[in-house]
Structure 1
């Protein structure tokens, strides 16, 4: 058992405090480690999950990973299994979330009411009760999940199934009331009572475990996920060159729209030049747009890739709503290609791989970029590619991405957008894969892969109009493997694309190796001669094998 309360206020607000109890079910010394590993592993991994995951996603993914590990370890244990019941309760804001597997027990004492919060998942076999639906019992696990509002003074008791035959609910309430000011003493009292009664019944007390948690105080308001917390900072008015804001001097206007304004600014203190993004004044009455603006900042702060524009923390407390980014000394990809028409195939393919890594960095954070197009791709002075603009980014959800679809449509579709955006179908990581492949196709051939633009489709039957134009027809230097990979990633039907972006990235890497190591081309006559020589060598090989077998047969017959 364990309780963990983060020291950092931000971590406490994001993940809350956590109390865990686990109970192994086997006497085998190695198998008994399952509960200890489960508690330590859950707390370590839970507080290391990506910050944009909500509590349920973080806890369930960690528990499923622990379950898979325990299940796999059981094959190496003789006379036991890595099986453990586990109950974990996360206290965050004015609410709590309970995750439960197996037969560990969690009770709540509120006023005069003593209530069991968990269900006993047990199976009766031969008069003995064994836990079911516990960690490590099966490759798949069913996790009980419930959210509970908290009240000041709530006391939660975490214990094991063994107390069922020793202590009654009245014993728990009496001991907690008696030692209300000292929960450690209350636990000691419960352990002593359980041990005495177990001794009277002729069995040991090693399976008893008690943990008490009391809610001392609650915050004034409930805390939601980072992308749902409404920032109270005011939106600044439109700025002009020379205006000052929070110690920054506006030096240039980069872009302005109804949704946002981009300014080039200089820090008065450090003289550092940055890019400031400010919500458009029209967004002040549109809370969902403001929430998405906060998500943009959150995404930029957490994606760590040299191929993605970096959001930097403000050097001083903000008095207005904005976020800062590092400036990129370069130019958009399309303009760079116009200035460098002689850029070779290998250089362009290397840029394609950089772009793929930038998109992959978003996907590792469960974020869809949704605006992968040439005007959002910068080439810096070192000829390194940087993907910019979080304006259409959306969190990838497992069950519903309607919000992501609406956001992409509001930001504007382009010929590089996947057809499901125009048709109103579900979007996923494979939608970004389509846009990535379309940009790579354009980068390598300076043409589009379809005669019909995907953003012009109106119904599903019109998908048949998207007929892939082989990149090898446009650029003969294109390796066949790369052309095949692009064709698959650009499949009009989303289900036919690569299952994972990493598979497409591997195809890009393999194609580059193939192109770099390809043999020199020969004429038709030379190719015919080489083919004849290969056939002749194969014929000589099999003739030799046949002769050796014949010699062995002759020797055997002679000896017989």
Structure 2
């Protein structure tokens, strides 16, 4: 059951085959739960393999299962068309390669899918499967068949697995409440006419499974009367029962409009969660350790600060925090907990981690071994990489947002600045940082109003690592006074071994590279950064061994300009 403000559908199915081994068509409907409904939408699929194929059933099922599994695993900031076409192209290549290894069979299958998201349908089609729409008294075929006649038989001219590359028909259309979509195969094409479909669907509109059964019965009767095969029919009906409001086709609306709770104190109750401890109250949010009165489970409840109740931009970003992070699965990132009961207020729950902030841990372990510190840094890198794998920028890395639990494991716990670049439904990374604010650990590109990338998180990780090793900042309050690229080119990096003689020169070289003001000069990947932190890079074994362009970009470009000027003068003289 979905919220009234979200898309709601009903569906029914019916098929016949003489036995399991002769099945050659497959159909399915996937309705995701929670925010996935607004993010990815509902998928309805039908696939039909060639009739002289010993693995027809396997081919059709592979198409349907492969598409549904991979479509819902695509990054959430991809639009429907991008997600589906990339998945189908990859699936086609795999099916084609597998078909080369099959004797007397193939992985070729016609395929049609409609993704229903918000107030629009997105049709993807190749082959001779059929998709119709019944709207009021109008019965319309939405797709175009791709067929050839060879030797008196009809074959699909386009299909999944037929060629190394596939040409996918795409069509977007608006939805109306009451629309009914019919998915079927070529077997019904010469058997039923439009009036048959409309009559059976209307007579059984309250039960779509019964409507499909009646379509099947009528098709079998007509096929038998005409001497056709009556053993290969399938029908799938999908009805649009409810559409979201015009503004509901955004990710943020998936959580609905809920009031901001008042500030809570120890002992207060909110939706059955009793406050055990007030962890933090700020002008941005209120964070509490709570206990579920029904299960006894301890969790952390985070709600917006009541003073932000009228700030729609802040509230929208708060709503995004849960949506963004619930898609990350990592032991180094605190997990979002699904509320066991309907929420009456705006908040979200995450797992409770019994630990100390990294700031507190460093104060209690001022002489921690270098090996132990690098282990903690590596765990932080793994946490950030888990976010990056879902196309999420962390942006808010800070020692107070990182916990070290009783086993010495890192947990990233704050997601207020997280962003998914390139998504129309979400605020941009820069706008989020402007709302939340900069810290001494923020990368220079934010101060230059440049759109950040994953290397911005690398810079923040390196600042934290530098701070852990030295207790200082790599640019010692210089950054706050600089506002242009020229200013940042004058930043003077302070070698970490000047503050901590125990830091090897090669380790400082690694930090220096990750802390380059120019993001293009940092490591290309976080894996390279952590590799150099753990294993000495021979390029950084001696002081000053780092290339001049990385150690002092301003001096490098001045020197290069001077050389070019001398060469130009020399050429003019000669």
> Same-fold call, TM > 0.5?
yes
User: Within 1, Cα distance between the matches of 2:236 and 2:273?
Assistant: 51
For the structure 1 residues 249 and 189, does the alpha-carbon distance in structure 2 shift closer, same or farther, using more than 3 Å as the test? Answer: closer
Q: Does 1:366 align with 2:395?
A: no
Matches within 5 A, 1:177-216: 177-180=198-201, 181=204, 182-190=211-219, 210-215=234-239
Measured after TM superposition, the shift of residue 302 of structure 1 is 4.5
Measured after TM superposition, the shift of residue 69 of structure 1 is 2.0
User: Within 1, Cα distance between the matches of 2:151 and 2:494?
Assistant: 69
The aligned counterpart of 2:67 is 42
Measured after TM superposition, the shift of residue 342 of structure 1 is 1.1
The aligned counterpart of 2:330 is 305
- Partner of 1:434: helix, strand, or coil? helix
Matched-pair contact (CA < 8 Å) for 2:120–2:173: yes
The aligned counterpart of 1:158 is 184
The aligned counterpart of 2:142 is 117
Matches within 5 A, 1:3-22: 3-4=28-29, 17-22=42-47
Aligned length: 504
- Partner of 1:238: helix, strand, or coil? coil
Measured after TM superposition, the shift of residue 285 of structure 1 is 1.8
Matched-pair contact (CA < 8 Å) for 1:414–1:455: no
For the structure 1 residues 487 and 158, does the alpha-carbon distance in structure 2 shift closer, same or farther, using more than 3 Å as the test? Answer: farther
Q: Does 1:464 align with 2:489?
A: yes
Task: Identify the range of structure 1 (384-393 vs 25-34) with the bigger mean alpha-carbon deviation.
Answer: 25-34
- Partner of 1:217: helix, strand, or coil? strand
Matched-pair contact (CA < 8 Å) for 1:312–1:325: yes
For the structure 1 residues 91 and 50, does the alpha-carbon distance in structure 2 shift closer, same or farther, using more than 3 Å as the test? Answer: same
User: Within 2, Cα distance between the matches of 1:82 and 1:498?
Assistant: 43
Measured after TM superposition, the shift of residue 152 of structure 1 is 1.3
Q: In proportion to residue count, which structure has more helix?
A: 1
What does the per-residue CA deviation read over 1:284-332, in whole Å, with 9 as the maximum and x for residues that have no partner? 2233322322222344544343322344344654433223344444433
Measured after TM superposition, the shift of residue 372 of structure 1 is 0.7
For the structure 1 residues 356 and 495, does the alpha-carbon distance in structure 2 shift closer, same or farther, using more than 3 Å as the test? Answer: same
- Partner of 1:356: helix, strand, or coil? helix
Matched-pair contact (CA < 8 Å) for 1:95–1:149: yes
The aligned counterpart of 1:406 is 431
Matches within 5 A, 1:209-224: 210-215=234-239, 217-218=241-242, 224=249
For the structure 1 residues 153 and 352, does the alpha-carbon distance in structure 2 shift closer, same or farther, using more than 3 Å as the test? Answer: closer
- Superposition RMSD in Å: 4.4
Measured after TM superposition, the shift of residue 349 of structure 1 is 0.3
Measured after TM superposition, the shift of residue 496 of structure 1 is 4.6
Task: Identify the range of structure 1 (259-268 vs 27-36) with the bigger mean alpha-carbon deviation.
Answer: 27-36
Measured after TM superposition, the shift of residue 103 of structure 1 is 4.9
User: Within 2, Cα distance between the matches of 1:500 and 1:192?
Assistant: 64
For the structure 1 residues 345 and 99, does the alpha-carbon distance in structure 2 shift closer, same or farther, using more than 3 Å as the test? Answer: same
Highest relative contact order (Cα 8 Å, sep 6+), 1 or 2? 2
User: Within 1, Cα distance between the matches of 2:479 and 2:128?
Assistant: 54
Measured after TM superposition, the shift of residue 94 of structure 1 is 5.6
The aligned counterpart of 1:542 is none
User: Within 1, Cα distance between the matches of 2:224 and 2:457?
Assistant: 60
For the structure 1 residues 317 and 133, does the alpha-carbon distance in structure 2 shift closer, same or farther, using more than 3 Å as the test? Answer: closer
The aligned counterpart of 1:131 is 157
Matched-pair contact (CA < 8 Å) for 2:114–2:123: yes
The aligned counterpart of 2:563 is none
The aligned counterpart of 2:462 is 437
Measured after TM superposition, the shift of residue 493 of structure 1 is 3.8
Q: Does 1:418 align with 2:443?
A: yes
User: Within 2, Cα distance between the matches of 1:136 and 1:83?
Assistant: 5
Measured after TM superposition, the shift of residue 20 of structure 1 is 1.4
Measured after TM superposition, the shift of residue 219 of structure 1 is 5.7
User: Within 1, Cα distance between the matches of 2:185 and 2:326?
Assistant: 41
Matched-pair contact (CA < 8 Å) for 2:122–2:170: no
Measured after TM superposition, the shift of residue 432 of structure 1 is 1.9
For the structure 1 residues 24 and 492, does the alpha-carbon distance in structure 2 shift closer, same or farther, using more than 3 Å as the test? Answer: farther
For the structure 1 residues 292 and 398, does the alpha-carbon distance in structure 2 shift closer, same or farther, using more than 3 Å as the test? Answer: closer
Measured after TM superposition, the shift of residue 415 of structure 1 is 3.1
The aligned counterpart of 1:332 is 357
The aligned counterpart of 1:512 is 534
The aligned counterpart of 1:173 is 194
User: Within 1, Cα distance between the matches of 2:425 and 2:501?
Assistant: 42
Matched-pair contact (CA < 8 Å) for 1:94–1:151: no
Which TM-score applies when normalising by structure 1? Answer: 0.73
The aligned counterpart of 1:66 is 91
Q: Does 1:276 align with 2:305?
A: no
Measured after TM superposition, the shift of residue 355 of structure 1 is 0.8
Measured after TM superposition, the shift of residue 351 of structure 1 is 0.5
Matched-pair contact (CA < 8 Å) for 1:331–1:380: yes
User: Within 2, Cα distance between the matches of 1:468 and 1:82?
Assistant: 59
Q: Does 1:99 align with 2:99?
A: no
What does the per-residue CA deviation read over 1:325-358, in whole Å, with 9 as the maximum and x for residues that have no partner? 4444443323332332211110100110111122
- Partner of 1:254: helix, strand, or coil? strand
The aligned counterpart of 1:344 is 369
- Partner of 1:319: helix, strand, or coil? coil
User: Within 2, Cα distance between the matches of 1:138 and 1:261?
Assistant: 55
For the structure 1 residues 409 and 45, does the alpha-carbon distance in structure 2 shift closer, same or farther, using more than 3 Å as the test? Answer: same
